[in-house]
Structure 1
Amino acid sequence: MEESKNVGSAVLYGLIAIFTLFITSSIVFSMLLRFTSLQEGSLQYIITAVSFIALFAGGFISGGKGKQKGWFLGGLTGLIYFVIVFLFSFLGLDQLFTFEQFIYHVCYTLIAMMGGILGVNLSKS
């Protein structure tokens, strides 16, 4: 019972970190787009990089909090993020993922797994 509580807590911390980073970066990017002459297309690769960094950080935090099974904690964090975004897209916007979006979210989950593995290994030392 204690282990499942630890897993839930670790994943929750990771998800909070991911969404906090996304909200913060969204505010920054929206301010840049509003008050400068930048276009959304010119920020596409930067936004993608920030997304990968946020998922890596969330997985890292999950692994660090859980202190074991980093691949599982990071993967679970990425998978729950995937489900939340999919449900928002499907239920809120009435849109399914495109194949490209699906590939991105699979990569996000893999990046979160890598972050979880690194988080476990760095928390033990």
Structure 2
Amino acid sequence: MLYGIIVIFAIAIAGSLIFSLLLRFTSLQESSLQYIITAVSFVSLFAGGFISGGKGKQKGWLLGGLTGLIYSVIIFLFQYLGHDNLFSMEQMIYHTCFMLTAMMGGILGVNLNSKRTA
């Protein structure tokens, strides 16, 4: 699961850098990138779940779900301890969907990995 978490945060950091440069040096507004940022978030969670499932080789739904849960807990702790805010209902829905997406990635990672080795 550690590899999956590392992949998620690596994609998130790279995406943040790219989007911050776009916002700084172009006339784009943050509201115009909202859906793209959300899509990148889902792709990163799927990739993290995929890596976790592929490395674990079994129970991909569990590995992916735990990867998504660990990601959500880290974000929650950062938000709560750093900004003294709890998750809103909208954020709870997003993070539930993030966990489901990571589960799907984990399932696919196990299944594609097992076909390669068989």
TM-score category by the smaller chain?
A: over 0.9
Unaligned runs of 5+ in 2: none
1:42 aligns with 2:40: no
5 Å matches for 1:63-102? 63-102=53-92
Deviation at residue 71 of structure 1 after TM alignment = 0.2
Q: Distance in 2 between the 1:72 and 1:98 partners? A: 25
User: What percentage of aligned pairs have identical amino acids?
Assistant: 73
Q: Distance in 2 between the 1:85 and 1:102 partners? A: 11
Letter of the 1:103 counterpart: I
1:120 aligns with 2:103: no
The 3-state SS of whatever aligns with 2:87 is coil
Query: How many positions carry a matched residue from both structures?
Result: 115
Unaligned runs of 5+ in 1: 1-10
Q: Distance in 1 between the 2:68 and 2:21 partners? A: 28
Q: Distance in 1 between the 2:111 and 2:12 partners? A: 25
After TM superposition, the score normalised by the length of structure 1 is 0.91
Deviation at residue 121 of structure 1 after TM alignment = 0.2
Query: C-alpha root-mean-square deviation of aligned residues, in Å?
Result: 0.3
1:103 aligns with 2:99: no
Q: Summarize deviations over 1:16-47 as a string: whole Å, max 9, x none.
A: 00000000000000000000000000000000
